[in-house]
């Protein structure tokens, strides 16, 4: 097998440590609940062993991370009635640094509450806000609840700030409500947008 066909299973230290920190915080928070269930303890042991293996073998971390995610999802399913929340979302994980992910989380939580209140307090918003035409199934239809409206607005904010951080470095990834700063677009970026 040539080196071109070998799948890269490595994960850099920053990504690994950010991922593992979430898992370790989860294990600590739910330690007592997990300890009372034999099946959960088996999953916890697997998770801990995969963490150790990943620390020793950076070139195989994606494999270990996958095993951790599978076991963690099983824990969440096992304790569904107790509302245990596995901290790792399904699907592709963010490649953003942990501090930027935390800032985006803070922004979206605060904005979501504000948008729910805005919707609930303003009949005009309820009457005139419609789903974007980019949504092929619901585009042009009205939002039915404050939660749906807030979810859509928050998704747009998250996408915009991620773009400002990753694509054009207009945002430094820090969130401070008192001193929040987004750099204006460069002249080149303005002319690109106006030509579209």
Distance CA 101, CA 152 (A): 19
Res 2 pLDDT > 60? no
State pTM to two decimals.
Answer: 0.54
Using alpha carbons only, what angle is made at residue 64 by residues 63 and 70, rounded to the nearest 5 degrees? 95
Tens of pLDDT, residue by residue over 49-91, are: 999 999 998 888 888 988 998 888 888 788 776 667 788 766 6
d(CA 108, CA 113): 9
pLDDT tens, position by position, 92-147: 666 777 788 888 888 888 898 999 999 999 999 998 988 877 777 777 888 889 98
**61-78 helix and 13-29 helix, angle to the nearest 10 degrees:** 20
Asked if the model's pLDDT at residue 1 lies above 60, the reply is: no
Hey, is 130 helix, strand or coil? strand
139/180 Cα distance (integer angstroms): 32
Cβ(22)–Cβ(69) below 8 Å: no
Distance CA 161, CA 186 (A): 16
The span from the first CA to the last CA of the chain, in angstroms, equals 46
Residue 18: predicted pLDDT: 82
pLDDT at 35 over 80: yes
pLDDT value at residue 15: 80
* Predicted pLDDT at 52: 94
The structural domains of the chain, with segments of one domain joined by +, span 3-82, 98-180
* Predicted local confidence at residue 49, as pLDDT: 94
């Amino acid at each position: 097998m040539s080196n071109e066909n070998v799948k890269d299973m490595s994960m850099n230290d920053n990504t690994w440590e950010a991922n593992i920190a979430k898992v370790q915080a989860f294990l600590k928070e739910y330690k007592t609940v997990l300890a009372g269930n034999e099946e959960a303890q088996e999953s916890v042991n697997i998770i801990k062993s995969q963490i150790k293996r990943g620390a020793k073998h950076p070139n195989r971390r994606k494999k270990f991370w996958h095993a951790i995610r599978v076991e963690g999802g099983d824990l969440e399913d096992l304790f569904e009635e107790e509302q245990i929340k596995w901290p790792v979302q399904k699907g592709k994980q963010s490649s953003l640094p942990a501090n930027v992910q935390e800032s985006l989380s803070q922004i979206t939580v605060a904005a979501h509450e504000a948008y729910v209140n805005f919707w609930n307090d303003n009949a005009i918003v309820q009457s005139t806000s419609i789903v974007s035409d980019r949504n092929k199934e619901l585009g042009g239809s009205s939002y039915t609840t404050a939660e749906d409206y807030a979810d859509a607005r928050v998704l747009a904010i998250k996408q915009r700030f991620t773009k400002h951080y990753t694509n054009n470095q207009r945002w430094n990834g820090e969130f401070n409500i008192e001193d929040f700063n987004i750099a204006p677009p460069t002249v080149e970026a303005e002319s690109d947008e106006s030509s579209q």
